[in-house]
Structures are given as C-alpha cells and as structure tokens.
C-alpha cells in the first residue's frame, strides 16, 4: 500500500509541473485540464470524412439531404461545408430530431459524437454498415468538441 501511494503522489506532482511548463510557454490559452494539445477540426476531418479513409462518412453524408441515405445530414465534400453543417446545428432527421449535432464543449450532448458509439440514443451507429471507429479516433473527436469545437 504505502509504496503505491508514494508513486501516485509522485506521478501527480510531475503532472502539475508539466502543466505549469505548458502554461508558461504558451501565449494562447489552451485547455488547463490536459497537457496534451486538443485535436483540431483539420485532424478530425482528415481522419473520418474523405472517401479515401476508413471512416467514409462522405460516402453517404456528402450526398444531397435525404432521410433514407443520410438522415438529411448533408456535409458537402470539404472541411468548411462539414463544419458549417455540424457545429451548433439541429438534427434534421426523423430518428434524432430535437438533438444538436455538435454542442461546443459538450461531446456527450453532441449527436455527432453519440452516433459513433455502439448503441446511440437514436438511429443507427455511424458509419452505418461500416466498421466502428477506434477508441483513439473517438478520443480525437471528444477532444476537439471538449476544447470548444473550433474551426481550426
Ligand atoms: C451508409 C451510409 C452512411 C454512412 C457511411 C454514414 N452515415 Fe451517418 N447517417 C446515415 C443515415 C441513413 C442516417 C439517418 C438514420 C440514423 O440516424 O440512423 C445518418 C445519421 C447521422 C447523424 C445524425 C443526423 C441527424 O441530423 O440526426 C450523424 C451525426 C451521422 N450520421 C454521422 C455520421 C458520421 C460521423 C459518419 C462517418 C463516421 C457517418 N455518419 C457515416 C447514413 C450514413
């Protein structure tokens, strides 16, 4: 018991020191709750949208809005269109109406994040019919939304 507690205390103090260093060397105000830089929307978009990558959201969500093919969520074919379609926008689908696609700062309240989990609160798990995203990919999306869902 005692050695374990000492190790934990040591680990925690190193973490605080690391945060202090980040705070001093950075002029922009990054999230104080983590020493890791949050993901950017550029990272998230490149990882999950283009057809070339495994996520393949664009396979359905770059089509014009249609309830059957994409739940009326049309995100275009570039990063700017996807951002505009997602952040702060209400759901336009039958299954998820009443929800908000991306609530800045709140991944768990964001349909865009919820729909990637194994059993979403509404409709199917995205990408529909495809492989689920990996925990690392989910962490990236969570981190981008938690840090304010910026257009970065
Ligand atoms: C094979 C087609 C297909 C693929 C691929 C796909 N989706 Fe969907 N998506 C749909 C359909 C159909 C709906 C509406 C029915 C539902 O919610 O299950 C939907 C609904 C959604 C919604 C809710 C829309 C709303 O306004 O309520 C989100 C968010 C979403 N998808 C995100 C994604 C993401 C992110 C990806 C990529 C990781 C993805 N989808 C891949 C077909 C697809």
Contacts of 123 (CB under 8 A, 6+ apart): 71, 93, 95, 96, 115
Residue closest via CA to ligand 1's atom 20 equals 71
Residue-wise pLDDT for 50-81, tens only, equals 877 666 799 899 999 999 999 999 999 999 99
pLDDT value, residue 54: 65
Tell me how far the alpha carbon of residue 28 lies from the centroid of ligand 1, in angstroms.
35
Say whether pLDDT at 115 is over 90: yes
The residue with greater pLDDT, 27 or 99, is 99
Task: Determine what percent of the chain is predicted with pLDDT higher than 90.
Answer: 66
Taking CA atoms only, the protein residue closest to ligand 1 atom 1 is 128
- Who has greater pLDDT, 119 or 55? 119
Confidence of residue 20 (pLDDT cuts 50, 70, 90): very low
Q: How far is the CA of 138 from the centre of ligand 1 (A)?
A: 15
* Ligand 1: centre distance to CA 38 (Å): 24
Q: Which of 3-17, 30-44, 115-129 has the lowest mean pLDDT?
A: 3-17
Check residue 51 and give its pLDDT: 75
Residue 56's pLDDT is 79
Banded pLDDT at 36 (limits 50, 70, 90): confident
- Rounded mean pLDDT of the chain? 83
């Amino acid at each position: 018991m005692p050695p374990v507690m000492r190790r934990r205390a040591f680990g925690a103090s190193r973490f605080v020191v690391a945060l202090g260093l980040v705070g001093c060397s950075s002029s922009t105000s990054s999230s104080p709750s983590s020493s890791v830089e949050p993901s950017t929307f550029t990272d998230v978009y490149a990882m999950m949208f283009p057809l070339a990558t495994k996520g393949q959201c664009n396979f359905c969500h770059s089509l014009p809005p249609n309830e059957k093919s994409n739940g009326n969520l049309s995100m275009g074919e570039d990063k700017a269109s996807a951002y505009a379609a997602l952040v702060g926008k209400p759901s336009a689908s039958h299954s998820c109406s009443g929800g908000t696609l991306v609530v800045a700062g709140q991944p768990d309240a964001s349909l865009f994040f919820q729909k990637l989990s194994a059993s979403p609160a509404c409709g199917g798990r995205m990408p529909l019919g495809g492989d689920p995203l990996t925990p690392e990919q989910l962490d990236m999306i969570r981190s981008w939304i938690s840090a304010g869902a910026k257009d970065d």
